[in-house]
Structures are given as structure tokens and as C-alpha cells.
Structure 1
Amino acid sequence: MTFRGMATVSYYAADHAAARAWYTQVTGVEPYFLRDGYAEWRLGDRQAELGLVDARYRAPGTPTGAVGAVLYWHVDDIEGELARLLDLGATLQDKPQDRGRGFITATVLDPFGNLLGIMYNPHYLEML
């Protein structure tokens, strides 16, 4: 198999310091790796990496705003986590949707313009 799992997802932010503080609050942990314009957290059961990149390092011509793929992070309580994200300043993009067989997704826009997906995923729990 070529693809073995998600290694790192990167979000961009023009106000890197504010975004770093926001994601530290959202995740509940400090970044484990820091350098100028970059912060990285290891999260969850499989230690997936979330990278936060200063927008000045965005490749020229890269679209900005709510575009591209949505990466969904598994959460045990979709309604509770969605409410918490909204309380922390995220904006609702896609309300909770029952996708069938126990899969529920929701998407917010973080305060820095990135799509952030959350999902209750029974398959994720089965794999653990």
C-alpha cells in the first residue's frame, strides 16, 4: 500500500501568533515543535500532526480562504466540540450532518480562514 496514513495537515494564518494561541487552546496542548513561522502539534491516539504555517510562506498562487479538502478530526461528542469551537471564535461552515451508519460530520471556519472538520467516526473507534 502506498498511502499509510495522514502524516501532517497544514493550516496557514496571516496572524501566526494569534493562530498558534488559538490552536493551543483548541487542542489543549502546547506545540511540540516550533520555529519561526511554524508550529506543530501531535494529536490524538495516532499522534497525527497539525502544522500551523505563517501565511507569508504560502506558495505563490495558492488559493486562500475556505477552499480545498476538509480534514476531519475524530471527536467523541460532535455537538459539544462544535459548540466549544464556536465559543472560541470559529464560524459554522456546515452544520452537523448524519452521513449514515453512525458517521456524523460538521465543519467550521477557524478565525484565520481555514476549514476545520470534526467527525464522529465509528470506524476510527473500531481501529483502536
Structure 2
Amino acid sequence: MNEGIKTVIYPVRDLAKAKALFTELLGVEPVMDQAYYVGYRVGGQDVGLDPNGHSKGMTGPVGYWHVHDIRGSVKALIDAGAEEQQEVKDVGGGKLTAVVKDVDGNVIGLLQAS
């Protein structure tokens, strides 16, 4: 069903300051550097900075489980009691994401690579 958490996205208010901090923390330059998203790849892990995250309801970092069938995974989680927070959407290049909350309000991100 999944390949584990391979992506963590942080909502940020000041992208330039966050980029400087994470570049220092991670010790690498971003692999994607756009006004709408800055992304890093370190040791097989993707770390993203989303300047629109807070306006989308993100209150902190979200770990994304990489799955093979995102729609099936979302349905299975909802059937098990989760609540959909963000429906499946294409975030570019055929990459699909969705977010649900478990019964305790914990955020679970799902990502299906293209």
C-alpha cells in the first residue's frame, strides 16, 4: 500500500528566510526553487517549504506517505474513520497529493508519484 513517509512539507510565512534556514540545516541547495514552493532532497527524503501552507490550513509540518493508489488509500482511510481535509489534487508533473485527519485530529498526507 505504501512506501513510508518520504516527504515532509513545512508551511512557511517568509519563504526567503525559511529557504536560508533550511539550506543551512540540510547542507544542500534546493532541487526546486519557485515562488510557490522550495524543495530539497536529502538522503532519499524530500523536504518542502510551502508559502501558501498556512492559508491552506496547515498548522505545522505534514508527513506524506508515498502510496501506489492514492484514491484507493484515501477511500480506505475514510472507511476506517478518517476525515478528508484536502481532496486528491495534481500538484504538478502528475504528482498527486491528498490530506486526511485521523479520528484524533492528526494530519496524514498521502502522495502518489507520477
User: Higher relative contact order by CA 8 Å / sep ≥ 6: 1 or 2?
Assistant: 2
User: Which is greater in Rg?
Assistant: 1
Which structure features the higher share of strand residues? Answer: 2
TM-score normalised by the chain length of structure 1: 0.45
